[in-house]
Amino acid sequence: MKYEGDSVVANISMMLKKAKMIQDELTTLQEKLANHIVYGNSGGGAVKVSANAELDIISIDIDQSLLNTNDKELIEELIVSAVNDAYQKARKVAQKAMETIAEEIPISDIL
């Protein structure tokens, strides 16, 4: 004889399995984003920035000819511009990855 409580337990168990699956997918995604490198630049390539898709700056390269100008304000503006370029690209990568995950896990699977 089955009790109504059995189906509730089974539903909770299924929900927990789905939650674990989603958590595993998100962990994998986070690892992929950490390893996905994007590049931003400004000043015709005088400033180059590499970042991962988790928005961590990996490196900044400033062309020596730009440094030789001693134009502090220009250098600062170009660094900000290159960082923003890298961030914009990283956000696009992360957004696309999240959309892919969302398509793979329908909302009905969560509820």
The per-residue pLDDT for range 52-80, each reduced to its tens digit, is 999 999 999 999 999 999 999 999 999 99
Q: What topology is assigned to 4-110 in CATH?
A: Ybab; Chain: A; (3.30.1310)
Q: Judge if pTM exceeds 0.85.
A: no
> Which is more confidently placed, 59 or 110?
59
Concatenated DSSP letters of 30-80: HHHHHH-EEEEEEGGGTEEEEEETTS-EEEEEE-HHHHTTT-HHHHHHHHH
Do residues 78 and 43 make contact, with C-beta atoms less than 8 angstroms apart? yes
Residue 69: the pLDDT is 96
Rounded Cα distance between 44 and 48, Å, is 9
| Nearest Cα residue to 91 out of 49, 43, 53 | 53
Per the CB < 8 A criterion, the answer to whether 94 and 86 are in contact is no
